[in-house]
Structure 1
Amino acid sequence: MDIREYIRNNILLFDGAMGTMLQKKGLKLGENPEVFGLENPEKLKDIHKEYLQAGSNVLTTNTFGANELKLDKIGYEVEEIIDNAICVAKSAIKMVDQSIPRYVALDIGPIGEMLEPMGTLSFDRAYEIFKRQVIQGVKSGADIIIIETMMDLYEAKAAVLAAKENSNLPVFCTMTFDENGRSFTGCMPECMVATIEGLGVDAIGVNCSLGPNLLLPIVKKITEVATKPVIVQANAGLPDIIDGQAVYNLGAKEFYEGVRQFIDLGASIVGGCCGTNPEFIKEINNHKSELKKMKIKKNKSCIVCSPSKFVNINQPRVVGERLNPTGRKLLQHSLKNGNLDYVINLALEQINGGAEILNINVGLPDIDEKIMMPKLLKEIQSVIDTPLQIDSSNIDALEQGLRYYNGRSIVNSVNGKEELLESVLPIAKKYGACVVGLTLDEEGIPKTAEGRFNIAKKIVDRANSYGIAKKDIFIDCLSLTVSAQQEEASETLKAIKMVKEKLGVKTILGISNISFGLPNRNGLNSSFLMLALGAGLDLPIINPNEDIMMEAINSFKVLNNIDKGCTNYIEKYNKSENIKSVLLDNKNKKEQSLQQIVERGLKEEAKYLTKKLLEKKNENDILDKILIPALDEVGKKYDRGDIFLPQLIQSAETVKVSLNVIKEKLINKSNNVYKGKIIVATVKGDIHDIGKNIVKIMLENYGYEVIDLGKDVPIEEVVNQAKSRKVKLVGLSALMTTTVKSMKETIEALRDNNIDAKVFVGGAVLTEEYAKRVGADYYSKDARSAVEIAKLNFNVKK
């Protein structure tokens, strides 16, 4: 039975952890699990048989790290590893009871390097890496593709696209989240669902991360917005470190109780992750008849998002209009000359003004939109987390924008013309985007509301035929200038009401067109906006930096009982005079300070202003009194959850631009440029260095000399480097539970060799308590805390 058919009416049971089972079969510390499976197929088959006998429907192949970046370094091919793993799993299935459906899932894990803009790996390169795995998985006979343990939404998107575009296999995708409900890179569960579901996966959910109890709130968020089957594979609780080994604290019976709660919430695909074994799967299987598959709720909410922010369009939401070069000479000049810092500033101004979504248009005769659209989207997303609406009449530019956008977007736009319906709607469906439909066709814009309604119906019907739900369609009934077509303003309003009531879809409208060529445009725009909102407008496209427009929006929400208790209205306008004076002061400023530029992550402006400041200020003053305080402020925002990892890294990289400008002068004036030397290394046996690389970036930008020993670093190498370089601080990273022992042994070796250095440790499996147990002096939960540890260790004043 095809697995898609099976999961419609049944609970599907995956297997449990692979790593700990391989260790029991003889996998040694630092040994590659995939290569071990290649060289010991019978041992691998035995593990699979144990899971099958416990009741698993699905075997996950031993290919979690089988990508070319990892395997090429050790002389193995992706194809041989994947082919062996799938063949072994299939042979195990042939040896057990065939009365229940059994499937083999090609396991694809993270690549191990960060994608741009946080890292150096491009989206296209990541796609090609995943594509190679997928193609071999199909050749070798996998039944499913499971993309799992993803921490970065962008990487998950690349993997899903590679799977969907290079196979017809069912695709499941899971990400991993921490107790705060965020992934390592700041992604929210709701954003994952909105983005990845839209790409056409067959199941979506969460794995690894936490034990069942701590995972429940995250599963609840996923099941509340998901429209596809939900998969959950929890850890066996949180591990204790005993004799350097990770020992999980949850038994099979307690684990099952958590699984039961997952299914009560709406999950229908379950299994185990770290710390689980065949006993856990058997316990679930023994109670499988008691578990009732819940019907998937028909989610009516429309969500657009970036990785770290989502907007539920369940009330009027403001779309910022200013990132459109039509009639804006400064923006035109900036786009032509590649001065994207100006564009980012416009984006930030609109967000500060109240925009919840930003419309992005790069349509100019002298610009290749296909190249500029994804470039601008990446630049904006490296600084802000507000969802974006991709606006273009160029089909190639629309597709490029959707492909490289990190999150779920709105396509602006399609209309009633057959050519556009046939070209835009399939693209919107493929990438899971919402779509804007303009009420015009080959005959132009109808003068009457009825005429516009008929085009709207055609667009909605055609979009539905492509599988685009009504909740994700926005009809633009088009506002025309009243100075020339005065009678049609009321037709627009009438059409909005008809579309809302008769078609049951949402509406969008550019407001400022209405007043073109007339004096006091703001007054007319504001009045028209209120009338349109009253008719049922969901997404007004306006300039949010015009107070009168935002006052209309905020007033409407109060008068229509959307702003409960007038809370937001009072908060915004209770000190309106102070706010206006602050806005006036900001307008009078001719340029931002370097600290503001760093906080916003504007690299080109940082470079320019640093050069200017060097004409008047001492280099060390710029570093100590401007750049470091700016990073401190960004760090505080990160700690509060106001910004997330992409923005933190962007600010750090902006500081690096300034540092590069002043570095030569600093070196010439002093031999003691750095505040101290620090070694960082991922311990022996661990090949993950994402977290360590982020720590390095932050420490360097605070003025420390960082000696990066890389990943999978032998103990003796750490000791020798610490001794020869006379460092006073060593940072050790471990992402895998199996390498915590290596971390402990490294620290013991440093102590045994009388290295006079403090040690701080970090990684996904570490806690403050574990840090003490392995003998570390400090525990670093993230890059920000590593900086504080360095300050403390080198007695640097805060």
Structure 2
Amino acid sequence: MTRYDEIKNAILNASKEKILFIDGAMGTMIQRHHLTEDDFRNESLKDHKKPLKGNNDLLSLTRPDIILEIHREYLEAGSDFIETNTFSGTTIAQDDYGCCHLVYDINFVGAQLARKAVDEYNKKTPNRRRFVCGALGPTNKTLSISPSVEKPEFRNITFQELASAYLEQAKALYEGGVDIFLIETIFDTANAKACIFALKTLFEDSNYPEIPIFISGTIVDLSGRTLSGQTGEGFLISTRHASPLAIGLNCALGAEEMRPFIEAISRNTQSNLVICYPNAGLPNALGGYDETPEMMAKSVSELARNGLVNIIGGCCGTTPDHIKALNDSCKNIKPRIFDDNNIPHFDTLSLSGLEPSYITKNSNFINIGERCNVSGSKRFCNLIKKDNYEEALNVARIQVENGAQIIDINLDDGLLDGKYCMSKFLRLIASEPEIAKVPLCVDSSDFDVIIAGLEAAQGKCIVNSISLKEGEENFIKKAKLIQKYGGAIVVMAFDELGQAAETDRKFEICKRSYDILVSKKVGMNPNDIIFDPNILTIGTGMEEHSKYAIYFIDVCRLIKANLPGARISGGISNISFSFRGMEVLREAMHSVFLYHAIQAGLDMGIVNAGSLPLYSEIDKNLLNLCEDLIFDRDPDATEKMLLMAQKLTKKDNSNENEENLKNLRLQKTPEERLVDALVKGVDMYVVEDTEECRQNLIKYPRPLNVIEGPLMNGMKVVGELFGAGKMFLPQVIKSARVMKKAVAHLIPYMDAEREKRLKEQGFIDNDNPYNGTIVIATVKGDVHDIGKNIVGVVLGCNNFKVVDLGVMTPSEKIIKAAIDEKADFIGASGLITPSLDEMVHLAKEMQRNNLKIPLLIGGATTSKTHTAVKINHRYDGPVIHCLDASKSVVVVSSLLDEKTKEEFLDDLKEDYESICEEYYESLKERRFITLKEARSRKVDFDWNNHISYKPTFIGSKSFNDISLENLIPYIDWKPFFDVWQLRGKYPNRAYPNIFNDSDVGNEAKKVFEDAKKMLQDIIDNKILSVKAIIGFYKCASTNNDDIVLYDENNKIIDTLHGLRQQCDKEHDQKCYCISDFIRPLTVDGVVDDYIGMFACSVGFGVDELCHKYEKIEYDDYKSIMLKAIADRLSEALAEYIHKIVRTDLWGYSKNEDLKNSDLLSIKYQGIRPAPGYPVQPDHQEKVTIWNIMDVEEKTGIKLTESLAMEPASSVSALMFANPHSSYFSLGKINKDQIEDYATRKKQSIDLVEKWLEPNLGYETV
């Protein structure tokens, strides 16, 4: 077990039993000692020139007795975690005191003092373990905020300087003996990211094995943001790549003020534990803290009682008395439970600017703003070149205002310093909250520019892009570095052979990239992978380009079906480059292509969506032409498009005047005009048309009727088009603006009508004339308020007092307003999916605050089912789903009327019960049989009649003298042609028939001739050689799926571990495991079976020669050819080895007479499964092979940290002789088998789950 796993498991086990406690303030306790300047000096510092009083970290060196005693006091009070006295222990913070030279000692000794105190108490009570947290403070500098008002782009420290300082501190803390790194009091998430970068760098050094990380941010005021402007959820997402064991908040606020923010973290974190250590209330006028231990314990224990936290403690103003009071108040409270089966945002691409951005499989198309690209926008390029960054920022701002959810930033230009410009622009964005709120996409072909961007952004960015163009090693290196910075990755469909154009090749590269990224080589979350399968230009006049759009749409479907979690993006404008200058035509093409690509799975794209026409509004002839071109339905489509473009140009230059257009508009009714205005987002005549409708008193006797009629009809069309993917978010925003303008025009008339009705009914100003009061709000995290505003208007017109709290409204604000206003109802609205969770949270908070008033739920993302199943049971008061504005009047009126209220609620309860019943019945769980039953379905053989063939030797032997010429007949050439993307069509798919294919045959012949020449050169000049080792061992299977290996003297030498199929099958179907093919011990305890294994390579020297080809001869063709041949030779070597084993070395199939095609069809006796593949997917089994045969020593073939073989052109496998043995796929397995397997391998469950993650039939943390 690793040190990380040991510490993590100890903490998690303890956290399941009780709330855990971290210590309180160090500074507060130091102040109690009334220290003088002399206390901060020792012999070496007696002549130090700068004052040292206040440098509390220094006391670990000058007054270690005080620091040690403080640690002991907190341990005596019940602390489980003790922080080192190193909050300011970086060279950055110590520079103020001139003590940079003491940083190592401050941290090393600080860690040792805490270690000493903790060890003393662990020895006293060995059943209760305490831990040392190495405190890493925020420093006194910030990466996201300029110290100069005049120069917002200026920073007085760089990311790497900060990371370097943290690395120096972390090394000393580690060597001093800390158990955990605690990154705390984060007021700027960019600083925390630099610290995470440093810790990851430290852990890359084998001398510093990984230990757990805790992270604690600081919300500076009741706005719920850090000093650098980021929300709590944004902070969570930005630091998630650290995989913190615990995350939470400390400092700045007291527990009561911190509550809503710790709730949000508890709800949204993917970490196991939530930590919270607030101040002892808010500071008083003198800067002190007034909360007594009892006062603080009451508010903090409430957090624990509500299941929000696992670890609590104190920050500024707290003492051991506070920690003891917390212990006493929480002793019987059950800790927060982390639900492995309900991990927040599990299947989500989570990004952040200042605010979170969650992209799920249900999200609408994500518009990535394209105008901050010097290649795509001449204006933006000129602004950057002229150093007019203020106006360049305005380009970004307008995109966000128009609905861009992510901003793409590309500053690649030969006349620009990309790194400088990227850093400067992103730092300026950080000073503009209305821009910085959205995530950024750092876009560059220069990887150094990408790094500059990642180091300048505090949020979680997208990196655009990397590819396999320069090979796997380079790809992995870049991916791991991006991951180290916490970014998501765009991967281009580009590899060593170039850019992919056709569907199969696009998918092959995407799948290869995906497999690398999610494997242990990188270990990336699939949700952080975005594929750009290359949108290529159509309509070029070249026939080979005609299907490019089809290829893209088709590969979108393949990616979605086969690469779970991955998203798809693309540069939309590429599709229409052939028609540059013809903007009307291009925009129509973009809209049509997007419509079909989104249906196929396109998630996001770089596009100026605000300028696109609606799919349904495109001229029918133009629409048909676009689709003919996109789907290659007409060979003359390009010519026809050009003719159409000429017509459009002439039309644009015609003498049609504004009067003609106005007359054409007036041919429609005002209602039709209002619907058109809303759908098209044009507000030029909306007031005029709204007024015309209002004046039609026969049709619309009240102004409200205009809203409920044509305006709502228009918004209904907008909603339908948006849901169908025929409108994009910027267009919806434009529609909302039109709607608001129309409603704003009607409000004075509705107010006047209301006043008139009040006077007619005899009310006076001091009376309460309202039928009731409702507080309405768009919930936290959501900015959509169209529906809410309409509801407010409708209810207001029906004589209700409407208290509208606006958008992004936290639950506590809604509840406070409801209490202050003595509201009769609360109305919660939301359009985005995360709003559903906020509504659940609101219901829980209403219950906690003992409210009883009805809660109305509305908005596009809501449903009656969700309300019934997820919200209703959280709150004792009525919870009602309101479909639209008109329904809200019926609902509130029914609930206010005592005559109808009871019947209404009875019907609602019955309805919800029916919905819940149907919902739960519809859930279908994945079905597994128990491991015990799976083993009962093992493959049984008549072992009495089984012949065990003894190999010619027991043990291992090297075979390095196999001639490469002998391998040529065993080469499978089909994968070779696949490397070159040469795929024949049936019946010419395989070698040698591929040479007859009408499309690729000639090219296949050419590349094959080149291959034969190189192969002959390899043989003649002995460029490559064979390395192989083969082993045979006596063995016996066990009842628990293992294979025990013995030497010639029947002494156990090792064990191979098997895994058994566990998915439920038809009752008579077997559940296979590789151990089934090995004979168990006989009744007399005799070992009477054998197993073979081998490892081989023809890859030594390949990398060096390829380097020569690529860097010296600049001949990539030769390099690719050599690698392709080496791979084929290694696979041929494996085939050859297996044959000589069958016919000679083991000899169980001496008379075998098979053709090469028979070998490829697996018609031989026995199998040779490779560890890490479907039969036994645990790559760790390779380690057993390597250890038994001493593979690395005898062949030079190494296993990497991820257990890949090196050189790459290597093969290893086990060999089974049983004539009934066959290949199978393990599939998914359940937790009981994982636990059993972990026990058998003497490993932790976490480690086993890590290696077998793709085969887990359940969710893990």
Distance (whole Å) between structure 1 residues aligned to residue 144 and residue 202 of structure 2: 23
* 8 Å Cα contact 2:280-2:314 kept in structure 1: no
2:550 aligned with 1:490, yes or no? yes
Q: For 1:51-450, list aligned pairs within 5 A.
A: 51-74=74-97, 76=99, 77-98=102-123, 99=126, 100-115=128-143, 117-119=145-147, 120-124=155-159, 125-166=161-202, 168=208, 169-177=211-219, 178-235=221-278, 237-239=280-282, 241=284, 245-249=288-292, 251=294, 253-255=297-299, 257-261=301-305, 264-265=307-308, 267-285=309-327, 287=330, 290-292=333-335, 294-295=337-338, 297-298=342-343, 299-300=345-346, 301-306=348-353, 308-314=354-360, 315=363, 316-326=365-375, 328-383=377-432, 384-385=435-436, 386-417=438-469, 418-419=471-472, 421-450=475-504
Change (3 A) 1:422 1:44: closer
Structure 2: gaps (5+ residues): 38-52, 148-154, 616-678, 681-717, 745-805, 809-1261
The answer to whether the 8 Å contact 1:197/1:204 transfers is no
Separation of aligned partners in 1, 2:269 and 2:91:
33
1:232/1:319 Cα in 2 relative to 1: closer, same or farther (>3 Å)?
Answer: same
Return closer, same or farther for 1:110/1:512 CA change in 2, 3 Å cut-off.
Answer: same
Larger radius of gyration: 2
Distance 1:240 1:209, change over 3 A: closer
Query: Structure 1 CA distance, aligned partners of 2:417 and 2:477?
Result: 19
The amino acid of 2:573's aligned partner reads S
Query: Structure 1 residue 577: deviation in Å?
Result: 11
Q: Which residue of 2 is the match for residue 529 of structure 1? A: 594
Q: What aligned pairs does 1:557-568 form with structure 2 within 5 A after superposition?
A: 557-559=722-724
Kept in 2: contact 1:476–1:508 (CA 8 A): yes
Q: Deviations over 1:668-693 (max 9, x none)?
A: xxxxxxxxxxxxxxxxxxxxxxxxxx
How much does 1:556 deviate?
4.6
- Please report how far the alpha carbon of residue 253 of structure 1 lies from its aligned counterpart in structure 2 after TM superposition: 4.3
Out of 13, 33, 37, the position equivalent to 2:21 is 13
1:558 is displaced (CA, Å) by: 3.8
Equivalences, count = 578
Partners in 2 of 1:355 and 1:276 — Cα distance? Answer: 45
Question: Taking structure 1 as reference, are residues 247 and 37 closer, same or farther at Cα in structure 2, changes over 3 Å only?
Answer: farther
Pair 63,327 (structure 1): closer, same or farther in 2 beyond 3 Å: closer
Q: Give CA deviations for 1:469-511 in whole Å, capped at 9, x if unaligned.
A: 1221112232222203232312322221222233232211211
Q: Is structure 2 residue 32 aligned with structure 1 residue 24?
A: yes
Give the Cα separation in 1 of the matches to 2:239 and 2:567.
22
| Conserved 8 A contact 1:123-1:158 | no
Query: Match of 2:608?
Result: 543
2:736 aligned residue: 571
Once the two structures are superposed, what CA deviation does each residue of 1:222-253 show, in whole Å capped at 9, x if it has no partner? 23332223442332552474987432145164
2:528 — aligned with what? 472
- Please state how far the C-alpha of 1:254 moved relative to its aligned partner: 1.4
Compared CA separation, residues 373 and 277, structure 1 to 2 (3 A):
same
Partner deviation per Cα, 1:721-776 (whole Å, 9 max, x = no partner):
xxxxxxxxxxxxxxxxxxxxxxxxxxxxxxxxxxxxxxxxxxxxxxxxxxxxxxxx
Residue of structure 1 in register with 2:577 after alignment: 516
Shift of 1:407: 1.1
Question: What is the CA deviation profile of residues 109-153 of structure 1, one whole-angstrom value per residue up to 9, with x for unaligned ones?
Answer: 232244454224222443344334223323433332212112122
In structure 2, how many angstroms separate the alpha carbons of the residues matched to 1:431 and 1:370? 16
- Contact 2:280–2:289, Cα closer than 8 Å, also in 1: no
Q: Secondary structure at the match of 2:289?
A: strand
> What is the alpha-carbon distance in structure 2 between the residues aligned to residue 379 and residue 433 of structure 1?
20
Alpha-carbon distance in 2 for matches of 1:136, 1:493 = 54
SS in structure 2 at match of 1:209: strand
1:50 Cα offset (Å):
1.9
Residue type of the alignment partner of 2:427: K
8 Å CA contact retained: 2:84, 2:110:
yes
CA deviation after TM superposition for structure 1 residue 542, in Å:
0.2
SS in 1 for 2:75: helix
Q: Distance in 1 between matches of 2:444 and 2:118?
A: 51
Distance change in 2, residues 1:455/1:578 (3 Å)? farther
Cα distance in 2, alignment partners of residues 408 and 227 from structure 1: 15
Check conservation: 2:266, 2:274, Cα contact below 8 A: no
Q: Conserved in 2, the CA contact under 8 Å of 1:209 and 1:234?
A: no
SS in structure 1 at match of 2:495: coil
Q: What SS does the aligned partner of 2:121 have?
A: coil
Contact 2:313 2:323 in 1 (8 A): yes
User: In structure 2, what is the equivalent of residue 682 of structure 1?
Assistant: none
Higher mean alpha-carbon deviation, 422-431 vs 196-205, is at 196-205
Q: Would you say the 8 A contact 2:588–2:612 is kept in 1?
A: no
Any residues of structure 2 matched to 1:535-614 within 5 Å, and which? 535-548=600-613, 556-559=721-724, 570-574=735-739
Displacement of 1:576 in angstroms is 8.5
DSSP 3-state at the match of 2:304: helix
Seen in structure 2, the aligned counterparts of structure 1 residues 199 and 31 have a Cα distance that, compared at 3 Å, is: closer
User: How far 1:89 sits from its partner (Å)?
Assistant: 1.7
Q: Would the alpha carbon gap of residues 199 and 311 (structure 1) be closer, same or farther in structure 2, given more than 3 Å must change?
A: same
CA RMSD of aligned residues (A): 3.5
Residue 60 of structure 1 and its aligned partner are, at CA, apart by 0.6
Q: Which has the higher contact order (CA 8 A, sep 6+)?
A: 1
Instruction: Please give the alpha-carbon distance, in whole angstroms, between the structure 1 residues aligned to 2:719 and 2:538.
Output: 25
Contact 1:255 1:280 in 2 (8 A): no
Task: Report if aligned partners of 1:173, 1:204 keep a CA contact under 8 Å in 2.
Answer: yes
Instruction: Give the 3 Å change call, closer, same or farther, for CA 210–328 of structure 1 in structure 2.
Output: closer
For the 8 Å contact 2:246–2:275, the answer to whether it is kept is: no
Provide closer, same or farther for how the CA distance between residues 345 and 567 of structure 1 changes in structure 2, counting only shifts above 3 A. Answer: closer
Asked if the contact 2:494/2:509 (under 8 Å) is kept, the reply is: yes
Q: Distance in 2 between matches of 1:529 and 1:227?
A: 34
1:459 positional shift: 1.8
Counterpart for residue 684 of structure 1: none
Displacement of 1:75:
5.0
How far did residue 214 of structure 1 move? 2.9
1:358 is aligned with what amino acid?
Answer: I
Indicate the residue corresponding to 1:3 in structure 2. 7
* Worse overlay, 82-91 or 566-575: 566-575
The answer as to 2:503 corresponding to 1:453 is no
Shift in alpha-carbon separation, 1:309–1:290, aligned structure 2, 3 A: closer
Query: Deviation at 1:268?
Result: 3.2
Shift of 1:216: 2.6
Gap regions ≥5 residues in structure 1: 580-639, 643-798
Q: CA deviation at 1:562?
A: 11
Question: How far 1:312 sits from its partner (Å)?
Answer: 1.6
Judging changes above 3 Å, is the alpha-carbon distance between structure 1 residues 446 and 80 closer, same or farther for their aligned structure 2 residues? closer
CA distance in structure 1 between the partners assigned to 2:394 and 2:89 by the alignment: 42
